[in-house]
Structure 1
Amino acid sequence: MTAVLDPKLEQVKKQIEGAFASAPLPGKAHAPGIAVHDASSMACAMLAAYHTAAEVNPAKAFRSKAFTPHVRLADPAQLQDKAWWNTVLDVIQTVAPVVINAVSKDYTAQPPQLASIIQALPAERRNDPGFVDYATSVLLNLGQATVQAMSGQKDFRDPNAQIPIPQPPPGMDKGWFDDVCDFVSDAAPVALPIIMSLL
């Protein structure tokens, strides 16, 4: 099956192909492999929280290292798999709001208040010590790792630099974990400015 390209992009395709003919190919580089929707959703929440944190505390904002990460697929056959491409586009849709907000000059993030985030949780979660401990641990571990990754303090592609993974109480259902993820994504804009100022 041949991919159908919008006719308006044919000229761009020809220009890119022409650039291949006239430019030497770059050397090898290494970067992360496969992205999945759940990981991109959580990463998106942390990047959105960083955007808020950078506006709250601009002196602690990180500067780009001026390079574009290269993509290296663990399984190159995925380039021929429609489901894999659908996942790529799903990730783009998930992350798009963060990118759009980051480059919009008129966007101002509104840092939430921790008390209102906690109050928005169901009462059974607020009063569940296992939930409170696990959700707080996930928030702080992920927040710390986000700051370390964005600042270049750690390279989490290295298997020896993995973050500690908090263990939930046994037998929790999907709704419990959904509430954890809601809390972490809502509270990250509150936690990240604090974590950035401490690390």
Structure 2
Amino acid sequence: MVAALIALAGGLAACDSSADGPVSITQPAGPPTTAPGTEPTVVPGSTDPTPAPGPGPSPTGLPSRDDATVDARDYQQRDSYYFQSPTGNIMCGIISQSTLGVGCQLGHANVIPPQLPDCTDAPNRKVAVHVYGSKAEFLCTSQGIFVGEPVDGSRKGGGKILNYGDTIVVLGAACTSTQQGMRCDAGGHGFLISADSQSLF
């Protein structure tokens, strides 16, 4: 599994940006207009002045275990934790043995962030976000890096469903499933992701 994660992480290329303003992407639904066949992209995030409601960081910058409404062990697969939204469109992982940290990716995106011009929502160009260390970033992933194994006897991966209103807290990260999307916080940074909107803070 660790070797697979290293190989998957190799499928991402980094791109630095010095944007200091807020990053919040919300557009009307419609097909993406970017060209396929380009390299994956990673763009650092910045402060979002109006983060969505959800668990906030404790004074230490880490979420409190008291915010959890589910037992993280129910979502554990080997050394990591995987879960998905009730719709199955948002798949997330808290990955313990890599530089991926906590992140989510979309099965389908109605909105492609302008910071990911090479992301097209094709099977090998999926919109994703993650928090690792002291920053939140957009990713355009060519593989299912935040997708857990199937747990319900089907072939669809994603891990166990995190129901709306539930919060998982593990490894210094908290994720809350809402009808507006999946919100995750770690170390005072985080993201909110859905098919129609993605924001970093």
Report if TM-score (shorter chain) is over 0.5: no
Higher helix share: 1
Return the TM-score normalized by structure 1: 0.21
Q: Of the two, which has the highest radius of gyration?
A: 1
Higher relative contact order (CA 8 A, sep 6+): 1
Return the TM-score normalized by structure 2: 0.21
